Every structure is written in C-alpha cells, then in structure tokens.
Amino acid sequence: MDWTLAEAIVLGLTAWHWKSMREDSSQDMNSNIFAIIGYGALLLVLARVLGAIWMPLVTASYAFAGAALLVASREGEGRKLLLRLGGVTMLLVVGRLIVVDMSSVETIWRVLLFLACGVGFVAMSYRMQPARAIPSVESNSA
C-alpha cells in the first residue's frame, strides 16, 4: 500500500509538471515525451495494483483509460497526442483480451469481459461521432 500511495503522488506530480510544460510553446516536444512516459507509468501502476486483485481488471481499466483519452481528444489542445495515446491503448486492450484474458479467465468471466469491452467500444464510438446539425422547423416546412 505504501508503494501505491507513492506511485499515486508521483503520477499526480507528473501530470502537474506536464501541464506546466505545455504552457511553454518551446517545450512542446518535451511535454509530449513526458506525457507519453507518464501515461506508460500509469498503465504499469494499474497493471501492478489491479493485477494483484484480478487480471481482467487491468484490461477493463485500460479500456476505460483509452476511451477517456479518445473522447477527450475531441476538443481542446493536444488533440493529436490524446488521439494517438487512446488508439494505442485500445489496441493494447484488444491484444490483452485475445492473448491474456482468453487464456487465464474462466469462460463466464471471459464472455462478460468481452461484452463489457464491446459495449464500451460502441459507447466510445458514439461519443466520437461529429456533432450533427439539428434540422430547423423552417427548413422542413419549405
């Protein structure tokens, strides 16, 4: 538990430092590299902490993190980085589902995990769609 608390503090400081680096336009490349390394560290911490509880929790947390990054990439600064990190995370989720979870999880949990990830992928793809214009009443009556 002590290590988990220390890791959470380091990840919080990493996020704070990345945010302060992003404000300086001359540090753009360094802030991107720092963000990628920090996100990789977050994934490793999730794997260590949740893997000790139950291995499918790691895959589920990765799916949630990837979906959150992809939805966050719709607006704001750093869209390209968030989109790429989210896409790579989703590929990692699919790989974990096929390689790790297919071999180590009982059948009922495997089915439920695939269904939950599938629902998450569908919900995320719905949120990623561009906003559609609502037709006005005047254009329908003409």
What single-letter DSSP state applies at residue 129?
A: S
Residues of the domain holding 79: 55-130
Mean per-residue pLDDT of the chain: 84
Pairwise CA distance, residues 59 & 130, whole Å: 27
Mean pLDDT computed over 119-137:
76
At 30 the three-state DSSP class reads helix
In a domain, 105, yes or no: yes
43 in the same domain as 62: no
Q: Are residues 60 and 48 both part of a single domain?
A: no
Does the reported pTM lie above 0.85? no
Radius of gyration of the chain (CA): 19
Is 110 within the bounds of a domain?
A: yes
**Of the residues 53, 72, 91, the one at which a domain ends:** 53
Evaluate whether residue 85 is within a structural domain.
Answer: yes
Buried b (16+ CB within 10 A) or exposed e, 96-125: bbeeebeeebeeeebeebeeebeebbeebe
Residue 140's pLDDT is what? 56
> Confidence class of residue 1 from pLDDT cuts 50, 70 and 90?
low
Write the pLDDT tens digit of every residue in 26-64. Answer: 888 888 888 888 899 889 988 988 888 888 899 999 998
**Torsions phi, psi of 24, nearest 5?**
-95, 115
Residue 63 falls within a domain, yes or no?
yes
